[in-house]
Amino acid sequence: MAYETILVEKDGPVAVLTINRPDKLNALNQTVLAELLGALSEAACDDGVGAIVLTGAGAKAFVAGADIGAMAKMTTAEGRAFADLGHGLGDAIANCPKPVIAAVNGFALGGGTELAIACDVIYAAEHAKFGQPEVKLGVIPGFGGTQRLARLVGLQKAKELVFTGDTIDAAEALRIGLACAVFPAAALLDKAKDLARRMAAAGPLAVGQAKRAMNHGYDLTLSSALELEKQAFAMLFGTADQKEGMSAFLEKRKPAFQGK
């Protein structure tokens, strides 16, 4: 499909989705959210794609936030609809059976941080900035920030960031566990794609089930989460990929996974 605000590139088994509004610092509006959801769904359904990288166009911003000009005029009902759209995208990223890596190439504020923390791994450029400044605008994070951020960096640190609206740099994001790794800007996309290729080389059904078990198990009791793991582990023994993976290991060759 052709999109107005999203660029889609395939590099072998890696799909790179780029939010393409550099003149607006890639700010999120209804069109961006809907088109990104469509591009993500397209990549998730493509058997040739094993992992997805999400980034922003230009050198300044990943996503500098939501489009404040559009938000300023919203009614309560429109605000709820906007939140529903943002949550729908975050849930689609979290529930995507393929790994989604955020390559944060600049400002990731408000909805930008929320989009990144819905992804499985965050790689950041050295000049990247993160923050949830919504309280400075009289609202709160509305695309999952009050919940996903706490699960990533801990409740107390998340409260500090959300209640103040402070911005942090990439080094601090790495220190608190918000970012997984930090790289020079020129190397960021290549590093994210390298990670995506390593993930895509693994058994796709296994990676999908590992993501599902880890994401869903996180909010369960330990005993329930371990039961979820056992179910996923056992189910994979009924797949052709399990037979291929173990046969390839015993035969000292690379596996040829089919996602079946």
Instruction: Establish whether 9 is a catalytic residue.
Output: no
Adjacent-strand bridge partners of 53:
16, 101
Q: Catalytic residue, from 4, 35, 78, 114: name it.
A: 114
| Residue 101 to residue 142: CA distance in whole angstroms | 21
Q: How far is CA 9 from the centre of its chain?
A: 17
Instruction: Establish whether 114 is a catalytic residue.
Output: yes
- In order of 24, 88, 203, 229, 240, the CA distances from 210 in angstroms are 37, 22, 10, 8, 17
Q: Catalytic residue, from 9, 134, 172, 229: name it.
A: 134
How long, in residues, is the chain? Answer: 260
Q: How far is CA 43 from the centre of its chain?
A: 13
Beta strands of the chain (E only): which ranges?
A: 6-11, 14-19, 51-56, 61-63, 100-104, 107-109, 121-125, 129-131, 167-169, 181-183
Map residue 58 onto helix, strand or coil.
Answer: coil
Q: Which phi and psi (to 5°) does residue 19 adopt?
A: -75, 120
For residue 154, the number of C-alpha atoms closer than 13 Å in the C-beta half-sphere is 7
Q: Are strands 14-19 and 6-11 parallel, antiparallel or unpaired?
A: antiparallel
Contact 49, 43 (CB under 8 A): yes
What residues are annotated to the active site? 114, 134
